Amino acid sequence: MTSRVYRLHSTLELPLEDTYDFFEDADLPPEIADVEITRRNNTLIISAVAEDESISKYTPTAQLKASVTENRVYEELPEDAEEPPGFNGMNGGGGSPQWGQLEEEEKPDSELVEYACFKGDRETVLQNTALQYPMFQVLCDVARNAEKGTLTAIAAVDEELEAVRIVDGEDKPAQINVVEEPREDEDEDTVNWRDNEFIS
């Protein structure tokens, strides 16, 4: 039985520069000779290059897909630095800092940073079947290098189901729960307690 990924959900975010750095010297599974990184507008595509030459070059191999977004990152004041005049923590406890009241040169330094966001379910983040599981292993390594985001998945490895959960760069305990799916022959007039907008 070939190892496969059945369920996957990701909310991973990494600075784009860190993503490129990771793949420059990534420890790839033996089935993957290399990866090709392509950027199309605001989409980053990381495709597996097969080690096995019997896989046709026309066979679409697994790829990771991320959207590229810009976030403004503010430099934090050092703990021993004095706050700028007019900046009183949360401005006297009244919500967010009032940067508009400060002079331009007193505002904290900031820069726009591009992030690679691996967000969505399996079909969105991990595409194509050939080399799917090895590329999933690569995604797990990406998750371990991400400071922010969660990766959860169910995979079949050597005929055994395996649960994966990586949160903010750390592996966490995970287990598989079997739940009953609603039957198709259920009476349509009955109340669906699982998906009822009046129950929170």
**Phi, psi of 90, rounded to the nearest 5 degrees:** -95, 30
Residue 83 lies in a domain: no
Instruction: With beta carbons less than 8 A apart as the criterion, state whether 10 and 149 touch.
Output: yes
187 within some domain: no
Is 195 a domain residue?
no
Q: Which helix (H) or strand (E) holds 22?
A: helix 16-24
Q: What are phi and psi of 8, to 5 degrees?
A: -155, 135
In a domain, 171, yes or no: yes
Please, what is the end-to-end C-alpha distance for the chain in angstroms?
Answer: 41
**Is 147 inside a domain boundary?**
yes
Q: Is residue 197 part of a domain?
A: no
pLDDT at 92: 45
Q: What is the pLDDT at residue 90?
A: 43
Render each residue's pLDDT in the chain as its tens digit; 200 residues: 478 998 999 999 999 999 999 999 889 999 999 999 999 999 999 999 999 988 887 889 999 999 999 988 787 655 554 555 444 444 444 455 555 555 555 667 888 889 999 999 988 999 999 999 999 999 999 999 998 999 999 999 888 899 999 999 999 998 888 777 766 555 555 555 555 555 54
Domain presence at residue 78: no
Q: What is the pLDDT of residue 164?
A: 94
Q: Which domain holds residue 33?
A: 4-72+112-178
| 57 within domain boundaries | yes
- Count of structural domains, the chain: 1
Of 129, 84, 120, nearest in space to 12 by CA: 120
